[in-house]
Amino acid sequence: MNELLFASATTIARLIREKELSAEEIVRLLLERIAQVNPRLNAVVQLAEERALAEAKAADRALANGENHGPLHGVPITLKDSIDTAGIITTGGTVGRKAFVPTADATVAARLRRAGAIVMGKTNTPELTLSFETDNEVYGRTNNPYDLSRTSGGSSGGAAAIIAAGGSPLDIGSDTGGSIRVPAHCCGITGIRPTSGRVPRTGHIVPYGLGAIDSLTTLGPMARKVEDLILCLPIISGVDWKDPAIVPMPLADPESVDRKTLRIAFFTDNGIATPTPETIAAVQRTTKVLMSVVATVEEACPSPIMRTPEVFHHLWSTYSYAWRKKTAIEGRHYRSD
């Protein structure tokens, strides 16, 4: 198997920049990989193959002329289907938008494309991103690449599955109550739920302006390598003067952190749901590695964590009905039937 399928976006960007790999070559390779694995995964639900190849050829021509469009110049990516993409059907997993084609990119999509990224297609999400299992009436269920009988998690399950299967190095997920973290865990990749106020949600199916729950939903990168989260987060962060909750929040360089000063607390059982023995063992192995690079590592579970599901339920049940009703009403004009 070609090792480039599992290369990081950072590595792909460097190889293209140094002209050891063309954007067209990597786009073709990943499109072939998607065609190979997607029939069993159902992770990629829309492809923009011709557009991606045209943009790849343009990126190669630009580089040959000494032009570099940014840190992701020529790098192929996918984007969650809850994020608007101009010219590509974006359903948000709901039947009312099954033929909806946005006329403008969401802020995060526009920023990634300006940084040189090439969008190959869209990845599956449960309806309106509201589930920890990725399934909907438009496209159906996304399967776990390690065991097709199991879930890829949700709501960014399509993103996690295709990244884990070597079909895309980078995607953008959304997270309200675990929708980046859960599928990243299920599929064995990395993801980060950024601090609220960093990344604009303009053009996302769960909008800004939701009252007390507004701070819950954030957008963040998903990848196989942590270095790609470091590369991507600064690109998508910052005010867009549309999402009113986003502020000019400084984003420091992770390399500037003195790891020897860090104190880490971990737990293997939060008292709500006990993980599998394999998960507990993986956490324990990780803590042993951390002990050699940070100041202290101790096992401790915050006591208020027991009330987290209860608090989340009360907040979400108070506001989500009105939001879903508003979305359904606005979505009626998207229907093609």
Name residues whose C-beta falls within 8 Å of residue 136's C-beta, 6 or more positions apart in sequence.
91, 93, 94, 124, 125, 126, 127
Among this protein's residues, is 155 annotated catalytic?
Answer: yes
Q: Quick one: DSSP state of residue 35? A: H
Q: Which two three-digit tokens encode residue 199?
A: 């990344």
Distance (Å, rounded) from C-alpha 235 to C-alpha 242?
A: 17
Question: Which amino acid appears at position 77 of this protein?
Answer: I
Of the listed 22, 82, 155, 174, which one is catalytic? 155
Q: How much helix, strand and coil, in percent to the nearest 5, is found in the chain?
A: 40, 15, 45
Of the listed 80, 98, 122, 225, which one is catalytic? 80
Among this protein's residues, is 242 annotated catalytic?
Answer: no
CA diameter of the chain: 61
Q: Cα angle at 229 between 3 and 240, to 5 degrees?
A: 135
Burial of 258 (0-12, 13-18, 19+ CB in 10 A): exposed
Distance (Å, rounded) from C-alpha 132 to C-alpha 270?
A: 19
Q: Which two three-digit tokens encode residue 245?
A: 């909750």
Q: Cα angle at 81 between 75 and 86, to 5 degrees?
A: 70
Among this protein's residues, is 174 annotated catalytic?
Answer: no
Residue among 149, 65, 79, 153 at smallest CA distance from 110: 79
Distance (Å, rounded) from C-alpha 208 to C-alpha 196?
A: 11
Instruction: Give the residue numbers annotated as catalytic, written as ranges.
Output: 80, 155, 179
